[in-house]
Each structure stands twice: as structure tokens, then as C-alpha cells.
DNA sequence: ACCCTGGATTGACTTATATCAAGCGTATTT
DNA sequence: AAATACGCTTGATATAAGTCAATCCAGGGT
């Protein structure tokens, strides 16, 4: 009995439309609750990302491992975010990413085929998808700009003001990796910014 | 009499659907041809991006200027690409970007309100939008990963294999800025990679 | 044909960030 | 409660890339 209310609320809020009872039953029929314990993997590099997950509770990171064995975090995800490697999910290609629970994680997951169904059947769902797509495009554009034009310190300040929750929920070395910094550099940077 | 055929072909190819004669007339009614000479601006920082443009001919760059007066290129665009600051275009906020023609440029441009109309009225157009949205998401994910985990040299090689046209069409200092490098660094990097 | 501008290259030097290594405190496991 | 692992900090050093400056070359404009 996972909490579908979080998903319903989210869809209605983002789309600005209401879900009918039929809509809700359709969603409940094919979104499957899944629980992962901290450290468990939602997706492993090399596997196809068959499911997209809606985070009801907990957090996760999406990361790659380079040839030298260094990890790079591309995404940190919290409640009410979607979890997937979209490239693999859309194209059914093996993923280059790992997605790992950073805290005990509850998701509602569904397949691409089923999502396509929802897009056709549920107006609120399709409206939500359009809004999300816009938001992603905007967020990506911003993050890309930040990565290219900002100094490490500016990127950190940006994160502090835009995602203050991250500081509460994720250890500093994860934040560092997300910002493209070594943990040492982030530590020093914070110390210096007090002056 | 600008060339709408390029736009029609593009929509049909990406969407996998055909445009009816009515569809085409609708598109021709509200996409306005616009020509810019090299160096002219499609969008200036501080203005709202009222139009989205489909590039029929020519090229452009999207860039910011930081406090030190340094330019950072976020996007290089060629024929059959869409030109806009999506954040400003969707939200009607003043743009933080400049979009400048790098070669004489022919676009077909339209407003957001009109695009919404097309999405409702023209099935091929709406299918195209979904495909583009997927492609953008995938491309952004890749570029972000490249920016975070790759060395300058790997990013350059990536560009050489994925966008070889860029090397033909854009001067090296623009490529450098797009890769987040100084022109000097790119020059040296190319020299060394011969060894 | 000439000038002039923009782009590319090269050298010398500076700076930001990574790397390696050690030490410390706190939470987690058993 | 002891043992262990994890995360954070700090110092010393290395490295990649940026900056500044000079030169050279080619193409476009007059």
C-alpha cells in the first residue's frame, strides 16, 4: 500500500488539471510501488532503464564512473522528482549511468509503454509532461550555463540559493561531485567564503 | 518568398507524419520569414525572447557575457535547428542570453501563442515537438556529462565525431568557447594530439 | 593593390583546482 | 562498548588551463 496521493497531488499541481476517479484507477493499475534500501541500485550501468520512477520518499543520485574509477554525479533527486536515465528509457539502449538510493527510497515505477498510454488517456498527465519538459529544458540550460561560465564558488552559491534542501539531505562530498569539484576543494571554498 | 519546404520536410521527417495542405497553409500563415545579416542579433540580453526561429539557412550562436566581459557560447546552431532562449520564450522573462548570426541567416519565426495553436491543430507538429523534447533531454544529459567528466581533449574529440560540421562552419575561437576553453588552450590541445 | 581586421599560434607566466596523504570526530555495526 | 567505516578538514605538491603579449597569416573592403 504505497502512497499514491503524492503522485496524484503532484500531477494535479503541475498540470493545473484534476484527475478523475478513472484516471486515478488507471494510474494505480500500472504504477508499481518499489522500495529500495540505502545503497541499493535503481539502475546499473550497462542495463536498459526499463522503468521510470516517481520518488515518494527518499533520495537518489545518478552518476557515472570514468576510466580512472572516479565517480561523477549528474543528478541528485528528492521527493516528487522523476528517476530515470531518459536516454536509455526512451531509446532502450544500455545506460551509461548508475542510479543509487542515498536514503531508503520509495518509488512508484512504470514502463515506457505504459507512460505512452497515460499520455494518450489522461489529459492531466499529458499536460504535466509538457510542463515538465519545459522545466527540464530551462533547468538544463541554466545548469549548462553555470557549468561553463561560473567559478566553483559561484556554482556553490547558486546551489545554496536554488536547492537549499540539498545541503540538508546530502553529504558534502556528494554535493562536491554534483558541482564537479573534489571534496577537498569544496571544503576549502566554504572556509574561504567566510572571510 | 522564403523556403517553407525546409520546414515542412523537417516536421514530416522528425514526426514521421505527413502534413496536409491545410496544415501547410496554417504554418505559412503564421511563420514569418526573417533575414539577418552576419553579426546581427536575433535576441539581445535583457529582451524577452518573443519569437522562436527555425533556421532555413545560416548559423548562429547563443552566448552570455560575464562580469569580466568574457563571452561564453552555450549553443551553436545550424540549418534545421530551432533558435530561442527557451526560458525567456516560455516564461516571458528577460533573457540572459544573446543570439547572434554568425553567417547571413534566414529563419522562419513564430510566437509562443502561435506555437501553442500549432500543437493543438497539427498532429505532425505536436508529434515533432515530443520527439524534439526527447532529443533535447538526451542531448542535454550527454553534454552535461561531457562537461563534468571529460577532459578538454575528450570534449574536443567528442565534438569532432558528433558534430564534424561545426569544424567547417565555425571559427576555432567559437568552438573553443563552446567547449568552455580559451582559444589558446584549444590551439595547443590540437597541436599536442598529433603526437 | 593595399590596408586592416579577425583569427590562429606560440611563449612566458599565473592561477585554480586536483591529487596525495595524514589526522580527527562521529555515526554505524556488531 | 569496541571496532570500523565514513565524511570532513588541512597541508604540501602537481597539473591543467587561463591570461597576457607578441607575431603571423589570410580574406574582405575600399
Q: What is the model's pLDDT at position B151?
A: 87
Asked whether residue B147 carries a pLDDT value surpassing 90, the answer given is no
Mean pLDDT score, A80-94: 95
Q: What is the model's pLDDT at position B193?
A: 73
Asked whether residue A2 carries a pLDDT value surpassing 80, the answer given is no
User: Strand C contacts (CB < 7 A) among A residues 90-149?
Assistant: none
Q: What is the model's pLDDT at position A195?
A: 47
Asked whether residue B176 carries a pLDDT value surpassing 80, the answer given is yes
Asked whether residue A28 carries a pLDDT value surpassing 70, the answer given is yes
Interface contact flag, B86 A144, Cβ < 8 Å: no
Q: Does B120 touch chain A (CB under 8 A)?
A: no
Q: What is the model's pLDDT at position B149?
A: 84
Q: Is the CB of A173 under 7 A from strand D?
A: yes
Interface contact flag, B137 A91, Cβ < 8 Å: no
Mean pLDDT score, B55-73: 90
Q: What is the C-alpha to C-alpha distance for residues A92 and A60, in angstroms, rounded to an integer?
A: 22
Mean pLDDT score, A125-136: 93
Asked whether residue A32 carries a pLDDT value surpassing 70, the answer given is yes
Between A3 and B12, the more confident residue is B12
Residue B180: its chain A contacts at CB < 8 A? 147-148
How many other CB atoms are there within 10 angstroms of residue A18's CB atom? Answer: 11
**Among chain B residues, CA nearest to A177:** B148
User: Strand D contacts (CB < 7 A) among B residues 44-63?
Assistant: none
What one-character DSSP code corresponds to residue A193? T
Q: Is the CB of B120 under 7 A from strand C?
A: no
Residue A96: its chain B contacts at CB < 8 A? 145
Interface contact flag, A87 B142, Cβ < 8 Å: yes
Q: What value does the mean pLDDT of chain A take?
A: 93
Q: What is the model's pLDDT at position B195?
A: 47
User: CA A107 from chain center: how many Å?
Assistant: 11
Interface contact flag, A180 B148, Cβ < 8 Å: yes
Q: What is the model's pLDDT at position B150?
A: 87
Low-confidence winner among A181-185, A191-195, B160-164 (lowest mean pLDDT): A191-195
Which of A116, A138, A139 should we substitute to test contact with B (largest number of B Cβ atoms within 10 Å)?
A138
Asked whether residue A73 carries a pLDDT value surpassing 50, the answer given is yes
Contacts 24+ apart (CB under 8 A), A134-142: A134/B86, A134/B90, A136/B137, A136/B140, A137/B86, A137/B87, A137/B90, A137/B133, A137/B136, A137/B137, A137/B140, A138/B86, A138/B87, A138/B90, A138/B91, A140/B136, A140/B137, A140/B140, A140/B144, A141/B74, A141/B85, A141/B86, A141/B87, A142/B87
Interface contact flag, A137 B142, Cβ < 8 Å: no
Which of A85, A88, A119, A137 should we substitute to test contact with B (largest number of B Cβ atoms within 10 Å)?
A137
B141: alpha, beta or left, given left = phi > 0 and alpha = psi -120 to 50?
alpha
Q: What is the C-alpha to C-alpha distance for residues A186 and A177, in angstroms, rounded to an integer?
A: 9
DSSP result, B12-74: HHHHS-PPPHHHHHHHHHHPEEEEE-TT-EEE-TTSB--EEEEEEE--EEEEEE-TTS-EEEE
- Under the banding of pLDDT at 50, 70 and 90, the label for residue A1 is low
CB B161 within 8 A of CB B58: no
How many other CB atoms are there within 10 angstroms of residue A114's CB atom? Answer: 18
Query: Which residue of A70, A74, A90 is in closest CB contact with B134?
Result: A90
Mean pLDDT score, A90-113: 95
What one-character DSSP code corresponds to residue B193? T
Q: What is the model's pLDDT at position A150?
A: 87
Q: Is the CB of B68 under 7 A from strand D?
A: yes
pLDDT > 70: percent of chain A: 98
Q: What value does the mean pLDDT of chain B take?
A: 93
Asked whether residue B2 carries a pLDDT value surpassing 70, the answer given is no
**Cell matching residue A134:** 519545459
What one-character DSSP code corresponds to residue B100? E
Chain C nucleotides near the protein (CB, 7 A): 6-12, 16-21
Q: What is the pLDDT of residues B65-115, one digit of tens each?
A: 887 788 999 999 999 999 999 999 999 999 999 999 999 999 999 999 999
Mean pLDDT score, A27-49: 95
Amino acid at each position: 500500500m504505497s502512497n499514491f496521493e503524492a503522485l496524484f497531488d503532484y500531477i494535479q499541481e503541475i498540470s493545473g488539471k484534476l484527475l478523475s476517479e478513472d484516471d486515478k484507477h488507471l494510474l494505480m493499475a500500472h504504477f508499481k510501488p518499489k522500495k529500495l534500501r540505502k545503497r541499493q541500485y535503481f539502475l546499473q550501468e550497462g542495463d536498459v532503464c526499463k522503468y521510470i520512477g516517481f520518488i515518494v520518499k527518499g533520495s537518489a543520485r545518478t552518476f557515472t564512473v570514468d576510466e580512472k574509477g572516479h565517480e561523477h554525479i549528474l543528478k541528485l533527486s528528492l521527493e516528487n522528482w522523476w528517476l530515470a536515465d531518459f536516454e536509455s528509457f526512451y531509446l532502450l539502449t544500455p545506460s551509461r549511468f548508475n542510479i543509487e538510493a542515498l536514503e531508503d527510497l520509495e518509488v512508484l515505477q512504470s514502463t515506457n509503454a505504459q507512460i505512452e498510454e497515460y499520455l494518450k488517456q489522461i489529459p492531466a498527465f499529458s499536460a504535466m509532461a509538457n510542463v515538465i519538459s519545459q522545466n527540464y529544458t530551462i533547468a538544463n540550460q541554466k545548469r549548462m550555463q553555470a557549468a561553463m561560465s561560473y567559478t566553483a564558488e559561484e556554482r556553490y552559491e547558486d546551489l545554496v540559493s536554488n536547492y537549499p534542501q540539498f545541503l540538508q539531505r546530502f553529504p558534502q562530498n556528494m554535493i562536491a561531485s554534483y558541482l564537479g569539484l573534489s571534496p577537498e576543494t569544496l571544503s576549502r571554498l566554504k572556509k574561504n567564503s567566510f572571510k
